[in-house]
Amino acid sequence: MDSRFAKQVASLLVGLGIVVGFVLWQPRRANAIPAFSRQYGTSCTTCHVDFPKLNDFGKAFKDAGFKFPADDETYVKVQPVMLGSPAQKELWPKTVWPGTVPGIPQIGLRMNTFFQALGKSRNNLGFATNPTAPYIPSTDFATGYFSIFTAGNFGSDIAFWVDDDISVAGANANGSLGDGYLKFVNLGRFAKLPKDSLGLRIGQFELDLPFTQARSYNISGYDIYTQPNIGTPQQFVNNNFSMDAAGQGVEVSGGHSYGGYHYSLAVVNQNTSGTNSTGTSNVSPANGVAFGSDSNFKDLYGRLAYRFNLERDKASRNDVQAAGPMGPRDHTSLRLGSYVFYGRSVQRILNTSGTTLLGTDREPFYRVGGDFDFHYRQFNLYGLYMYARDHDVLPVINGTGALTGFVRGTPATFGGGFIQADYLALPWLMTIMRWDAVNSPNDQANGSGQYRATRNRFTPGAQFLIHANIKTSFEYQVQPQYVVLLPGQSRPTIFRGNTAVAALEWVY
């Protein structure tokens, strides 16, 4: 059966992905918006601790639709261009509702470059056992992302964001759109709801994850976010969805990320193939409007969190930033949250020759998790746990090759998460320690090479701000154990492919 073959191929690819991934780190997107610095005449550190990590004021700025939370117009150094006088509002609906565009193009650019060093075992999973696999040198330089991003506000509480990788790894125009959305902030005012209790985001966006992957300040991403769910050969599960994938759809949200409640509910295209539909040629074909995504079903994502600001002083507790004896600072706070993603994994069932569609298998799946985020002065401890489950719906094919029905199999599951501690030793020096863990017995069974069902990765690191917009970062990744039978050896070799990575990044 072709679908089963496809699943096995996918399993192999995932295994290979893990194998290669342990030496070839994936640099993350990291967006800070220097255009806001130009517009407001203020430093990156007004909104960022260690760009792109946001401080409490940066979170409030984002919540407000890329505006200062109050009296925004008094801070703008480059005045916006009026698209109609405010007096035009009185003439509506006999005129277009007036808005604004930023007085300067809100464009920021970002470039980064990397250097990595690896140990002796770096080729154990690739070149040592497969002569055609790429050879991995002990040290290597790599060109990262050259990205453009633009964000701002059109007035009337309408915010926008677009970021795109113009060039990746030195190759031109092979990047992709990150987020591209329009957000209607504070829509609840029309229904006289509390301020900021309802907003609407439309377009392509990273899900409202507890900790962003798309705008992470770490060199390496969170392992659990990139984990697909591929069943064993005895299962019929082949779900390449990962939590870090951008979704296309709509999202309603409300509350604040710097204190109190926050929620979001999103409806997005299904993406169990692991390919964004915007990356295909299906968008806006010449013969009409027809878009392509994985299935008719729309996936659902929801998040609910509450942040307790633990300041003793009430006014300080409720303000955007806490008032300290040495000046404003981030709140001492604890945020607790949970999230759930529900979707359906669709697989086409073909006959053995792959020429006839026998039917479609729709397998419900979910990802559910909880998270915490604790801040105390310069110390930040946060973590997340996620459990994943895909129903295994096995097609029943009779002796003549016809699909006669489905039976329930053993669900494919995995779990894991991460805990990270950041300490801002100096305003320009942040030290990091992270533990990633992914428990996926299926990956082990599918021949990924991992020694145990759980892959543990420990990542100490440090980041240095040369200027507020130039940063150098370092990570040493203590990788999970892998096992391989090397040529000419009778006993398997167990090893860790530890990796040291340095990055230099600048935005302007």
Partner 1 sequence: MQRKTVWVVVFAMAASLAMFAGDMKGKVGGVSGNSVVWIEATAGKTYPASDKHIVIDQKGLMFHPHINVIQVGTTVEFLNSDNVAHNVFWSSISGNKKLGHNLGTWPKGEKKPFKFDQPGVAPLLCNVHPEMAAYIIISPTPYFAETDASGNFTISGVPDGSYSVTAWHEGAKQQSKPVTVAGSGNVDFTLTK
| Alpha carbon distance 408, 282 (integer Å) | 34
- Name which of residues 306 to 365 contact partner 1 (CB under 8 A): 315, 319-321, 323-329
Q: Give the nearest distance from C-beta 102 to partner 1 in angstroms.
A: 17
Contact residue for partner 1 among 13, 75, 142, 340 (CB under 8 A)? 75
- Name which of residues 119 to 158 contact partner 1 (CB under 8 A): none
Stretch that binds partner 1, among 39-47, 161-169, 449-457, 483-491 (CB under 8 A): 39-47
Residues between 440 and 479 that touch partner 1 (CB under 8 A): 468
Task: Give the nearer residue to partner 1 in terms of CB position, either 87 or 326.
Answer: 326
3-state helix, strand, coil in the chain (%, to 5): 15, 45, 40
Q: How many residues bind partner 1 (CB under 8 A)?
A: 26
Tokens coding 105: 């193009």
Distances (CA, A) of 368 to 301, 336, 408: 10, 14, 22
> How large is the C-alpha radius of gyration of the chain?
24
* Contact call for residue 69 and partner 1 (CB under 8 A): yes
In the complex, the smallest distance separating the C-beta of residue 427 from partner 1, rounded to whole angstroms, is 9
293, 267 contact by CB (below 8 A) = no
- Partners of 460 in beta bridges: 433
CA distance 146 to 164: 9
Strand partners, 503: 114, 473
Closer to partner 1 by Cβ: residue 195 or 452:
195
- Listed in sequence order, the residues at least 6 apart from 52 whose beta carbon sits closer than 8 Å to its beta carbon are 30, 31, 32, 215, 216, 217
**Per CB under 8 A, which region of 13-21, 67-75, 91-99, 336-344 contacts partner 1?**
67-75
**Choice between 156 and 321, CB closer to partner 1:** 321
* Shortest CB 37 distance to partner 1, Å: 9
The verdict on 40 binding partner 1 (CB under 8 A) reads yes
Structure tokens at 102: 């930023």
User: What does the alpha-carbon distance between residue 305 and residue 369 come to, in Å, rounded to a whole number?
Assistant: 12
What is the 3-state secondary structure of 16-66?
HHHHHHCCCCCCCCCCCCHHHHHHHCCCHHHCEEECCEECHHHHHHHHCCC
- Nearer to partner 1 by Cβ, of 78 and 200: the residue is 78
Q: Give the number of other CB atoms < 10 A from CB of residue 412.
A: 25
- Does residue number 103 form part of the binding site for partner 1 (CB under 8 A)? no
> 91: which residues sit within 8 A by CB, 6+ positions away?
none
In the beta sheet, which residues pair with residue 479? none
Q: Minimum Å distance from CB 314 to partner 1?
A: 13
Q: Interface with partner 1 by CB under 8 A: which range of 71-79, 160-168, 198-206, 271-279?
A: 71-79
Nearer Cβ to partner 1 (58/416): 58
Please select the residue that binds partner 1; options are 43, 79, 176, 493, rule is CB under 8 A.
Answer: 43
For partner 1, which is the closer residue by CB, 32 or 437? 32
Among 3, 45, 216, 333, binds partner 1 (CB under 8 A): 45
CB closer to partner 1, 74 vs 398: 74
Could you give the angle at the alpha carbon of 165 between the alpha carbons of 303 and 290, nearest 5°? 70
CB-CB contact of 339 with 323 (8 Å) = no
Query: Applying CB under 8 A, which of residues 22, 36, 51, 57 lies at the interface with partner 1?
Result: 57
Among 36, 68, 114, 217, indicate the residue that binds partner 1 (CB under 8 A).
68
- Contact with partner 1 (CB under 8 A) among 71, 87, 191, 490: 71
Minimum separation from the CB atom of position 322 to partner 1 (A): 8
Which range touches partner 1 (CB under 8 A), out of 25-33, 35-43, 298-306, 354-362? 35-43
Please name the residue ranges forming H helices in 155-229.
Answer: none
Which of 5, 9, 70, 485 is close enough to bind partner 1 by CB under 8 A? 70
Nearest to partner 1 of 74, 139 (CB atom) = 74
In terms of Cα–Cα distance, which of 369, 476, 378, 465 is closest to 421? 378
Binding site for partner 1 (CB under 8 A): 40-43, 45-46, 57, 68-71, 74-75, 77, 315, 319-321, 323-329, 468
